[in-house]
Amino acid sequence: MARALVIWFFCIFLVGVAQTATGQEKVIVSHSVRGSLSIGPLLYGIQKGFYKDEGIDLLYMSIRADLGIKALLAGELDYIYSAGTAIRGAVQGVPVRAISFDFTKVFHSLMARPDIPSASALKGKRVAVSSFGASTDVSARVALRALGLEPSRDVTIVALGEDMIRYTALHAGTVQAAMMSLPLNIRLKKEGYRELFYVGKVLQQPLTGLVTSKDNIQRKPDQIHRVMRAFVRGMGAFKNERASFVAFAQKKFGLSKDVTEEAYEYLVDSLAQDGFVEPSVLDSAIEDAKKLVGSDKPITHADVVDYSFLRAALKK
């Protein structure tokens, strides 16, 4: 643990040094995934140079969702990219706000090893998620119940971290099933693994989007405006440049063209409208979060989301 902290703070130090060298403002955003296309639009916007156009040198880091929120509140990160995690945090009084959304359906599939022919064969087995309380954890419980299993009784849910770790654990047999997102769920199907349940069929809720702390909103509004303008441009490019994005994602994620094109259709189908989600979808996400954390405290949209920066960016 101590070694991990040393490495973390050394990375932050290097970011600070690089800021002086480049003249652009170094900004860090994190999410718990590395190989998932749910971060594709964000990385595509970085690759296109939209953030640099705004004087922002945006660095993406893969960090477990619960640690990402802690780092955000400590000022070690500027943004996290997990909207679902942020909503669950806000419901518990954590001073964070979602400022935009990318996708309104989860892309998670409950993937099982080839020797698990059905849901009933999962009884007594291990199911991997990223971290407890994260979107993969919520999705796993939804999937298991949809398959007639009780998560707390019939399986052992284990938190293993980012998607590539879960992918490797599934291959190694460390776990018998795992929640996997695009494109790894598609890749696993092509490798002979079983998709027991695609959660996007039943679970519609904010998945990814930019999230920051209330402290940042008060202290860094100019930075947030610039980041949001670049974010809006990135989402527009993602929607309108299919061939270019597919080529980018193939290279970035090491995917075949057919897997990338299939995944792109899932992404477009789930895309939020101009960064907003329907009020009813947000209401549902808040109620689900309250149930998960055991809270009966009244929560309004203003407790969870601040659209002011998004609205200003869309007017440009």
| SS3 labels along 223-252 | HHHHHHHHHHHHHHHHHHCHHHHHHHHHHH
> What tokens were used for 203?
């679970």
Q: Residues 6 or more apart from 117 whose CB is under 8 A from it?
A: 194
> What tokens were used for 32?
């718990």
What is the pairing mode between strands 96-98 and 208-213?
A: antiparallel
Residue type, 136: T
The whole-chain average pLDDT of the chain stands at: 89
Of 3.40.190.10, 1.10.630.10, 3.30.70.930, 1.10.3470.10, which CATH number belongs to 109-201?
3.40.190.10
- The answer to whether the CB of 288 falls within 8 A of the CB of 145 is no
In this prediction, residue 22 has a pLDDT band, given cuts at 50, 70 and 90, of low
| pTM for this prediction | 0.77
The pLDDT assigned to 23 comes to 80
Segment among 131-135, 167-171, 244-248, 265-269 with least mean pLDDT: 131-135
Distance CA 219, CA 64 (A): 26
Residue 109: pLDDT over 60: yes
The pLDDT assigned to 123 comes to 96
Residue type, 298: P
Q: What is the DSSP string of 107-176?
A: --EEEE-TT--SGGGGTT-EEEESSTTSHHHHHHHHHHHHTT--HHHHSEEEE--SHHHHHHHHHHTSSS
Report the pLDDT averaged over residues 200-211. Answer: 85
Residue type, 258: D
Give 275: exposed, middle or buried? Use CB within 10 Å, 0-12, 13-18, 19+: buried
* Domain locations in the chain as residue ranges: 19-105+205-315, 109-201
Q: For 10, how many CA atoms within 13 A lie in the half-sphere containing its CB? A: 6
- The answer to whether the CB of 30 falls within 8 A of the CB of 81 is yes
In this prediction, residue 83 has a pLDDT band, given cuts at 50, 70 and 90, of confident
Sheet holding 79-82, edge to edge: 56-62, 25-31, 79-82, 208-213, 96-98
% of residues, the chain, pLDDT over 90: 63
Residue type, 249: A
Q: Residues 6 or more apart from 173 whose CB is under 8 A from it?
A: 113
- The answer to whether the CB of 177 falls within 8 A of the CB of 111 is yes
The pLDDT assigned to 32 comes to 82
The CATH architecture of the domain made up of 19-105+205-315 is 3-Layer(aba) Sandwich (3.40)
- The answer to whether the CB of 136 falls within 8 A of the CB of 170 is no
User: What DSSP character marks residue 203?
Assistant: -
The pLDDT assigned to 275 comes to 92
Burial pattern 63-88, b for ≥16 Cβ within 10 A else e, equals bbbbbbbebbbeebbbbbbbbbbbbb
In this prediction, residue 59 has a pLDDT band, given cuts at 50, 70 and 90, of very high
Q: Is 295 helix (H, G, I), strand (E, B) or coil?
A: coil
The pLDDT assigned to 169 comes to 97
Identical topology for domains 19-105+205-315 and 109-201: yes
